[in-house]
Structure 1
């Protein structure tokens, strides 16, 4: 960490020489690592769609991707083209994306139940000549194409045939002779993946990542990710096929020769069935699963000792939920990470680290650590009101800089990306409130946009939510600031109780009043609901809740 008279620039505790990051395409990097291990994993699956049973073996991946690439090239797909996909498919989309990247193209996926007008907007941005669909999404995409009066080829990646589409099987059965001899890809500047933000602050934005972004992150983790990986690091993963998380995890597991059990269609009532059927070594959980799972009585009915590692991400988690989850999975190491669509990964825990999992904010709130900065990553904390550079144990806005931070936001094909969230020195504004403790661990408190004021006091919703979720009857809670002329805002809680449990409003209001200072009390009241709305990133949709309950 570099100290100054005013504050500090925080650096990673994991050393990495940036000059050793290879200047190669992502596919060259992935297949280079996989081929070193292929003798041991050729007959093992890379991706398994647990909802359909479809799978692809490591020994098939590269040849299949090259055949599909040849089939695309034969039909006019060229370097710089962008394939847009809207599908629930996991395996065929995984192969199709590799094929596009081999050709020097890029991919962009979307939330499957957007309105046709939003599909049209996203398609217009990338000017796609090829759109991948399945039988469930094809009609919405056809409506979007009609709105745009747009000509393009539809690729059906689903299992049942769709009229007037190019079948994925036709691409997969190509003889490979149209695969170009040279693609002339520029790893540092050429984009390969455009991922939509969750839209929590408005219309989803397209986040542009280059080959170099991804390769630099993977290469900086080579010792941690590859040298120490065996062939039994199977992972049960819940994420839509268009998310940055499944993109990153799929790349890591392809390179290391390990299997991902993918749940592309999450249903709460089926989740533990998948866990017990496949018995993965690892699980990756997001807020919409974690809070429910940690409080589920089903955990005590099964032997879950085969789970050795649980990674949490996507949102701030409270200590109570973490402790409940640890009780349910006593053999698992539980790690909180911090990442975003724009940054892929910012901080991570060392395995079996001696660093404490919990800590306290400068104002005394118990919080969960997000680990230490990833290799080649720098960070700084700025005062929320003055913008002054802060030091350790000071809450402020988190800004980061690193080789794997996005190139920028998509404006349109052929146009320079927007870098509106970067300052003139290249620092990216995460929009999150955080602090670093004395050991260099990162603690993320809340989105700046989610915080509100009560008179002159900043109120952090997640702190109040954490207190509510300590109550044995509470399944989930969301706190919002209801506008008030006198106080600026009043804190109001929207609460989901566990099935079959009851609690009074007075009881929960008193719990918060006893544990928190006056300006964090629920002066706006408390309302019980059956469920909380989620946004496209499967996080609690605070914007929708504010509109519904303020």
Structure 2
């Protein structure tokens, strides 16, 4: 593929009419869109918690949300307030969030097994008056509130009674008379949702999204998801606090399709959920898909009901992608590049002129991250000089778009931190990437995860992809172990498939035979029973580095 020495600003290849972005609150957009479909889907479920069987029907959603909003308003919740939630519940949290948004408030959720000190930090930031809990999280939250010396109303959204809490059922049975009606919401500036980053590079940061961010993103894809019918159900593995479940549940509420949510992901139960609910679509993190692609169970069942599998969260290696394509031959498998801060940036679109696999400028086979989403611009800057690069040149990816975050939460009432944006509005993704000659984006790795061997940059995922080609390997993680002479030495931690064996020497040779000298595993190779995940269900490279360096 030919390159160019000229720098380039890349734009979306997807058509989009900017005049079609309504300047309305999210709930107006969602409920207005849903009304077009309600005649056909009123008796269908919107959200289903596959672990408990709890569900809520499309025909119930708006009225229930207004009742809960009335119950909250009756107890003092007002425009600009923030509801914090730490619970495993899916359905009641979904309704509670809609109620808060109707009142002009915002929501922030958290990973359920943080320490009380971290809960306290997040509660201090949002200065919340209400916290949603369940029987498993309430004690940690009470400790956090005591540490903060703070008064909060605890709302129990779980299925078991919890002492000294307001039961969700009391809100759901409100007579609705305290609902204030239309709230004066400024879509461009008023915050709707504060989601936490995964914490892979440090303490989780609160990412602030406005009504306009989310409506803009949804309106960009209106033509894609409108009119697809009402049997396009999606199975999600993300926790209720993640940006992915927030976005998918909003989109699926608008279009009248069901979201099956796994609030408590357990590997050994995953395929049972898939086979029971038979979703048309699945969304997977590469960390989960790496196991799934190599599972012997794929050959034992008929998965022809699956029509689409979307992968996001981190870089996908070619071997795992091909194994998934073989294991799910009836499903189109696509990749999405997104982040908590920017929402969707690019998506792979199956077209004859857009190959799903390609090669980096230095010869590494990679899986496409797709073409830029509507209203997104991108540029690639040289890692050392900052010079604007053209096609087929590796550098740091910067992007600009209409649905990016307002900024990082500092604390309620203060201006958000926008230090990751430059004066022209470009967002520094921290990722190394390139655009090929067709205009497709290929994301290689986070800059912070790459390391140097002498003067050579080493990409961990490239070595991991080679290791995962071996039929005995379930998963691999490569880290840079500090070394005074070379700067770093590449070391691999490998998880084998159950019942399989392979020697360290064989895997070291596999890498040495396929990659140049500076990517060899001079730091050695170590076997492990499992690898830790971050709160966002990605490989926790920070923890792995601490454990094995």
TM-score (norm 1): 0.98
Contact 1:333 1:352 in 2 (8 A): no
CA distance in 2, matches of 1:118, 1:203: 9
Q: Distance in 2 between matches of 1:525 and 1:196?
A: 35
Contact 1:294 1:328 in 2 (8 A): yes
Contact 1:15–1:376 (CA<8 Å) still a contact in 2? no
Partner SS state of residue 545, structure 1: helix
Q: Is residue 2:41 matched to residue 1:47? A: no
Answering whether residue 449 of structure 2 is matched by residue 455 of structure 1, we say no
Match of 1:347 in 2: 346
- 1:529: which partner in 2? 528
Show the counterpart of 1:431. Answer: 430
Indicate the SS of the match to 1:458: strand
Q: Secondary structure at the match of 2:169?
A: helix
Q: How far apart are residue 6 of structure 1 and its match?
A: 3.9
Which stretch of the first structure deviates more once superposed, 278-287 or 139-148?
278-287
Q: Deviation at 1:353?
A: 6.0
Which digits, 9 at most, give the CA deviation of each residue in 1:236-294, with x for residues without a partner?
A: 11110000000000011001100011101011111111111111111111123100000
Residue in structure 2 matched with residue 490 of structure 1 by the alignment: 489
Looking at structure 2, the residues matched to 181 and 274 of structure 1 have their Cα atoms a distance apart, in angstroms, of 40
Map residues 309-328 of structure 1 onto 2, 5 A cutoff. 309-328=308-327
Residue in 1 that maps onto 2:500:
501
Alpha-carbon shift at residue 19 of structure 1 (Å): 2.9
Shift of 1:355: 1.5
**Does the 8 Å contact 2:25/2:187 carry over to 1?**
yes
8 A contact 1:6–1:388 mirrored in 2: no
Structure 1 residues 512-536: Cα deviation after superposition (integer angstroms, max 9, x where no partner): 0000000000000000010001111
CA distance in structure 2 between the aligned counterparts of 1:334 and 1:287, rounded to whole angstroms: 12
Which secondary structure does the structure 2 equivalent of 1:216 belong to? helix
Secondary structure at 1:93 match in 2: helix
Counterpart-to-counterpart distance in 2, 1:359 and 1:414: 47
Q: For the Cα contact (< 8 Å) 2:5–2:390, is it kept in 1?
A: no
Distance, in Å, in 2 between the alignment partners of 1:374 and 1:140 is 40
Structure 1 pair 4/423, CA: closer, same or farther in 2 (3 Å)? farther
Partner of residue 301, structure 1: 300
Offset, 1:350:
2.4
| Alpha-carbon contact 2:391-2:435 (below 8 Å) kept | yes
Deviations along 1:155-209, one digit per CA (max 9) or x if unpaired, are: 0001111111100000000111111133100000000000000111111000000
TM-score (norm 2): 0.98
Secondary structure of the structure 2 residue equivalent to 1:346: strand
The C-alpha deviation readout for 1:368-408, integer Å capped at 9, x for no partner, is 00110000000000100011100101111001000001000
Q: State whether structure 2 residue 289 is matched by structure 1 residue 290.
A: yes
Deviation at 1:20? Answer: 2.5
Cα distance in 2 for partners of 1:152, 1:204 equals: 22
Aligned to 2:541: 542
Whole-Å separation in 1 of the counterparts to 2:295 and 2:15:
40
Change (3 A) 1:478 1:4: closer
CA offsets, 1:397-424, max 9 Å, x none? 0010000010000000010000010111
Residues 5 and 467 of structure 1, relative CA distance in 2, 3 Å threshold: closer
Q: Does 1:130 align with 2:121?
A: no
For residues 401-416 of structure 1, the aligned pairs below 5 Å read 401-416=400-415
Task: State the partner residue of 1:95.
Answer: 95
> CA separation of 1:111/1:216 partners in 2, compared to 1, >3 Å: closer, same or farther?
same
The answer to whether structure 1 residue 9 and structure 2 residue 9 are counterparts is yes
* Cross-structure match for 1:150: 150
> What are the equivalent positions in structure 2 for 1:11-50 lying under 5 Å apart?
11-50=11-50
Partner of 2:73: 73
The match for 2:176 is: 176
Q: CA RMSD in A?
A: 1.1
Q: What's the counterpart of residue 481 of structure 1?
A: 480
Secondary structure of 1:345's counterpart equals strand
Secondary structure of the 2:410 match is: coil
**SS in structure 1 of the partner of residue 430 of structure 2:** strand
Contact map agreement 2:468 2:475 (CA 8 A) in 1: yes
Cα distance in 2 between the residues matched to 1:107 and 1:162 = 22
Tell me how far apart the structure 2 counterparts of residues 532 and 515 of structure 1 sit (CA, whole Å). Answer: 25
Q: Does structure 1 conserve the Cα–Cα contact (< 8 Å) formed by 2:407 and 2:416?
A: yes
Q: What SS is found at the alignment partner of 2:9? A: strand
In structure 2, the residue matched to 1:58 is 58
Which stretch has the larger CA shift, 218-227 or 309-318?
A: 218-227
The residue number in structure 2 matching 1:359 is 358
Give the distance between the partners of 1:230 and 1:359, measured in 2 at CA.
Answer: 34
- Name the SS of the counterpart of 1:242 in structure 2: coil
The unaligned stretches of length 5 or more in structure 1 are none
